[in-house]
């Protein structure tokens, strides 16, 4: 019995002289939200395209839902590529049903399921309208429904938050969480750490084609020690010069501060009082953004 929705074993992929993925191994348990994280060019999309059989690995093995090949499991997969688009002249209901038929659904079943999904996600009024009438956020919803029409066990989303405004980022996040509640495994790639931190159970951090970290998010954060989250007003440029401070990730009004092991957080607070206006001073685990920057670039970089 296969215990994993997706497995990579020592997978390599090159394009000419460029190594896109190097010796990548990972295991994704079923029923979780798993993030492929990293900067542009890290190897996230290449990894996903190998899962989808768009690219073939040069060496190593990929297993999807227990199958030796993606083709064997293709009707159990849902895939939203980074380059998204709709057939603009097709009517919305027809489009969603069409993709259901492509996944082997009978015509009447696909039509019924398409209408149910569109109603459920607030697009019932657009069933008979052309796709070109949809806003960007509505189009993104329809693209997700195209991915879900055939009830896939494993859903793979490549940069699903790209280009969305804050309202539609929230809609997309809620859809991903709902898919997990329904028992699906969701894998998505993103370069924005804050999005992944909100919803991921486990993550892969990848940079320059190589795995940097992977595993349950809570374990990764626990292993990284503690930091201080400071919300403030005023000139905080002096903070990095204070005794015991080894790193500051300062956005101007909010800063993550990391101290030497023997430094005193209360002493830091005393140094801050009267020099900046403090709205929050929390001792907490480092953010995923901080973990990635620290791990990839090294402790001393900003």
Letter string b/e over residues 136-164, b meaning 16 or more CB atoms within 10 A of that residue's CB: eebbbbbbbbbbbbbebbbbbbbbbbbeb
Mean pLDDT: which of 70-79, 132-141, 270-279 is highest?
Answer: 270-279
Q: Name the residue with higher pLDDT: 168 or 188.
A: 188
Distance CA 160, CA 46 (A): 16
Q: What is the pLDDT of residues 38-85, one digit of tens each?
A: 888 889 999 999 999 899 999 999 999 987 666 778 778 899 887 767
- pLDDT band of residue 302 (cuts 50, 70, 90) is very low
- pLDDT band of residue 300 (cuts 50, 70, 90) is very low
The distance of Cα 245 from the centroid of its chain, to the nearest Å, equals 31
Could you tell me what percentage of the chain is helix, strand and coil, using 3-state DSSP and rounding each to the nearest 5?
A: 35, 30, 35
Q: What is the pLDDT of residues 69-128, one digit of tens each?
A: 667 787 788 998 877 678 889 999 999 999 999 888 999 999 999 999 999 888 999 999
Q: Name the residue with higher pLDDT: 138 or 281.
A: 281
Average pLDDT, the chain: 89
HSE-CB at 227 with a 13 A cutoff on CA atoms is: 23
HSE-CB at 20 with a 13 A cutoff on CA atoms is: 19
Query: Given a cut of 90, is residue 9 above it in pLDDT?
Result: yes
Closest CA to 275 of 235, 240, 247, 246: 235
Closest CA to 205 of 226, 184, 227, 220: 220
Closest CA to 34 of 162, 171, 176, 152: 176
Closest CA to 93 of 133, 123, 135, 137: 123
- pLDDT band of residue 167 (cuts 50, 70, 90) is confident
pLDDT of residue 236: 94
- pLDDT band of residue 298 (cuts 50, 70, 90) is low
Q: Which residues contact 77 (CB under 8 A, 6 or more apart)?
A: 52, 64, 65, 70, 152, 153, 154, 155, 156
Q: What is the pLDDT of residues 189-236, one digit of tens each?
A: 988 888 899 999 999 999 999 999 999 999 988 887 778 999 999 999
Q: E strands, 162-276, where?
A: 185-190, 202-207, 210-216, 227-233, 245-250, 254-259
According to DSSP, the residues that pair with 14 across neighbouring strands are 19
Tokens for 285?
A: 């685990």
Distance CA 107, CA 92 (A): 15
Q: Which residues contact 47 (CB under 8 A, 6 or more apart)?
A: 8, 11, 21, 24, 36, 206
Tokens for 170?
A: 């929230």
pLDDT of residue 238: 96
Cα distances from 206 to residues 21, 52, 141, 296, in angstroms, run 9, 19, 28, 9
Query: Given a cut of 90, is residue 277 above it in pLDDT?
Result: yes
Cα distances from 263 to residues 10, 50, 122, 272, 287, in angstroms, run 41, 47, 53, 15, 20
Query: Given a cut of 50, is residue 36 above it in pLDDT?
Result: yes
């Amino acid at each position: 019995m296969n215990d994993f929705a997706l497995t990579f074993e020592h997978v390599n992929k090159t394009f000419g002289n460029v190594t896109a993925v190097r010796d990548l191994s990972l295991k994704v348990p079923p029923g979780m939200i798993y993030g492929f994280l990293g900067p542009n060019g890290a190897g996230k999309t290449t990894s996903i395209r190998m899962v989808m059989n768009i690219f073939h690995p040069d060496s190593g093995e990929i297993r999807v839902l227990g199958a030796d090949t993606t083709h064997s499991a293709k009707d159990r997969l849902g895939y939203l590529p980074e380059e998204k688009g709709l057939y603009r002249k097709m009517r919305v209901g027809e489009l969603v049903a069409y993709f259901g038929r492509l996944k082997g659904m009978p015509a009447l079943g696909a039509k019924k399921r398409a209408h149910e999904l569109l109603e459920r996600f607030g697009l019932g009024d657009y069933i008979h309208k052309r796709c070109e009438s949809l806003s960007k956020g509505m189009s993104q919803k329809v693209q997700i429904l195209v991915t879900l029409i055939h009830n896939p066990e494993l859903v793979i989303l490549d940069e699903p938050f790209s280009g969305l405004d804050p309202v539609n980022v929230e809609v997309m996040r809620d859809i991903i969480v709902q898919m997990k509640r329904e028992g699906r495994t969701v894998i998505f790639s993103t370069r924005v750490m804050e999005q992944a931190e909100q919803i991921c159970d486990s993550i892969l951090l990848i940079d320059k084609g190589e795995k940097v970290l992977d595993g349950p998010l809570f374990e990764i954060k626990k292993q990284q020690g503690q930091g201080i989250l400071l919300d403030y007003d005023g000139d905080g440029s002096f903070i990095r010069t204070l005794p015991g401070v080894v790193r500051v990730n300062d956005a101007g009004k909010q800063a993550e501060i990391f101290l030497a092991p023997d430094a005193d957080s209360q002493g830091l607070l005393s140094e801050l009082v009267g020099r900046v206006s403090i709205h929050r001073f929390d001792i907490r685990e480092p953010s995923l953004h901080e973990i990635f920057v620290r791990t990839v670039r090294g402790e001393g970089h900003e």
